[in-house]
Amino acid sequence: MRIFAKFKLFFLSILSLYIFSCGSFIVGIPVVNIPDEKGTIGSIDLPSPFFRMLRSWKEDTLVTIDSNARFAEMSFKGKSTIKIKPLVNYPCMALDMDLIAYPEYGLLIGKSARRFHVADIVSKKTKSFVPYLTGKHEEQSTPILIDGNEGFIIFRYRGVGYGIVYEGTNFFVVYNYKKDITTGKQGETEEDMRLMYPIDSNNIISFTNKRRLPIEVYIYNWRTGERTENELTKTLTRLDASSIPSESRYNINLEKRFLFVELAPISPDKSGNSWAKLTWKEGFKDVKVVPLDYLTPKERWLNDFFLSPDGQWATCLISGYEGLLNESLEKRVFFHMDDRYHNGISIPIFANGYYEYHWEQGAFVRHPVYGMCFAEENIKEDNFGVERRYLRLHKMDDVLAEINRQLSEEAKGVLKP
């Protein structure tokens, strides 16, 4: 028995060493990804329990969906420990690829087909419902919290015909999640009206698409239906901003007064649209438009911008790359937003590797060891062919260091005799 016990202990020790050396999936062991080309930053993969989708929550935590389909908080301890705990035992059903978080009000929203799931984490109240049941309209996938103090959420509906938007009725429904009260149709119009950027509890920067005509941007008062304009909305109308992302609130910072917007193509043969950064002063005056094509390599184009909650960091994907089989690939880039840079935005810093069929943006979070990071889901096979789930972290300290390195080299080149 003693010989058997010693053999068993020896076998387990050898097995553990083998797994440690061959399998990078052991919980608690971070995987450091070293960049394989100059000018890019690496990343850190933390073995993680199951999760789906990420949004910023508190400064040092994320919100996600756990293995039981519940709204859950992801937190960190030390370099590599990840803890996921449910915030509420809800909604406990499969969700679409949408997770909406308003951490300042403790509000979470998910969606399953036409049904929305609202959770007030402060009061622990939950509600699953279809705001408006109709066969001739489709709901915008991203509702807007317009008044967090009162609890008003707006759900927008637009007419469809065989999957194609037509000039039928468009409207929105308001739900008060604190009082559990839903209104009927509001703001009914035959225009395709998009409610995009809430600027206070009454007004939303909105735009109307009149089919084959340039868009019209305006300030919409959802309580009164009144439409007004300012210099910013007039500028957006003039630019004919062709597309605004569904998660539009992540590419605007009202406090620092800037916005990223996609513009109509400059020419029919141009691949991808151009992007611009808009800035303004108090009262939405003195609007400046900064085209951002100068930030991309030739024959490449930017995609949706995604800002950190404090507005100091931005990330997006750059498209136009091809793989060995001519598959379309993208690369992630990061920007530091600061007045010390030209136009208030740094040069792009590329993350190592490529993306294919990428749908989820991830979220910014402050890690207790690595500082401010951009976190995203990563799934890869281990040495045994088993898929393992990781949380991939890109350190903003690495981004800043690479910015300073490139700027320093550029300055040395200018100063050379």
CA distance 401 to 399: 5
**Residue 140 CB coordination number (10 Å):** 16
Domain boundary among 358, 385, 405: 358
CB 66 within 8 A of CB 74: no
pLDDT for the residue numbered 24: 32
Co-location of 301 and 254 in the same domain: yes
CA distance 69 to 295: 40
**Peptide linkage before 47 cis (omega within 30 of 0):** no
Does a structural domain hold residue 263? yes
Co-location of 51 and 104 in the same domain: yes
Domain boundary among 315, 341, 358: 358
Co-location of 162 and 213 in the same domain: yes
CA distance 121 to 239: 40
pLDDT for the residue numbered 395: 98
Co-location of 340 and 387 in the same domain: no
Question: Do you know the residue count of the chain?
Answer: 417
304: helix, coil or strand? coil
Domain boundary among 179, 201, 228: 228
Co-location of 217 and 151 in the same domain: yes
Does a structural domain hold residue 23? no
R_g of the chain, CA atoms, integer Å = 24
Task: Report residues of the chain scoring pLDDT below 50.
Answer: 1-26, 163-165
pLDDT for the residue numbered 166: 53
> What sign for the dihedral angle of Cα 57, 256, 295, 270?
positive
Co-location of 347 and 265 in the same domain: yes
pLDDT for the residue numbered 196: 86
176: helix, coil or strand? strand
Co-location of 192 and 258 in the same domain: no
CA dist 76 → 175, 310, 366, 391 (Å): 34, 20, 9, 11
Does a structural domain hold residue 381? yes
pLDDT digits (tens, 9 = 90+) for 226-246: 999 999 999 998 887 655 555
115: helix, coil or strand? strand
**Residue 32 CB coordination number (10 Å):** 9
Co-location of 86 and 147 in the same domain: no
305: helix, coil or strand? coil
Does a structural domain hold residue 348? yes
175-205: burial string, b at 16+ Cβ within 10 Å, e else: bebbeeebeeeebeeeebbbbbbbeeeebbb
Co-location of 346 and 368 in the same domain: no
CA distance 225 to 210: 18
pLDDT for the residue numbered 272: 66
Residues 6+ positions from 51 with CB-CB distance below 8 Å: 64, 65, 66, 67, 72, 74, 84, 377, 389, 391
CB 108 within 8 A of CB 98: no
Give the residue from 293, 305, 303 showing the smallest Cα distance to 253.
305
Q: In what order do the strands lie in the sheet with 115-120?
A: 99-102, 107-112, 115-120, 125-129
pLDDT for the residue numbered 168: 64
Per the structure, how many domains does the chain have?
A: 3
pLDDT for the residue numbered 10: 42
Strand partners, 82: 76
Residue whose structure tokens are 């094509």: 293
Give the residue numbers spanning the domain of 309: 243-358
167: helix, coil or strand? coil
Q: Which two tokens stand for residue 352?
A: 């190592």
Does a structural domain hold residue 300? yes
pLDDT digits (tens, 9 = 90+) for 305-363: 999 999 999 999 999 898 888 888 999 999 999 999 999 999 999 999 998 876 677 99
CB 52 within 8 A of CB 359: no
Does a structural domain hold residue 329? yes
**Residue 303 CA, distance from chain mean position:** 12
Does pTM top 0.85 for this prediction?
yes
* Phi/psi at 92 (5° precision): 60, 40
Co-location of 253 and 345 in the same domain: yes
CA dist 216 → 184, 194, 335, 342, 389 (Å): 26, 10, 30, 30, 44
Strand partners, 192: 209
Co-location of 182 and 219 in the same domain: yes
335 sits in which H/E element: strand 328-336
Co-location of 187 and 209 in the same domain: yes
Q: Which two tokens stand for residue 370?
A: 């690595």
pLDDT for the residue numbered 359: 67
CA distance 360 to 54: 8
**Residue 332 CB coordination number (10 Å):** 26
Does a structural domain hold residue 104? yes
37: helix, coil or strand? coil
Does a structural domain hold residue 105? yes
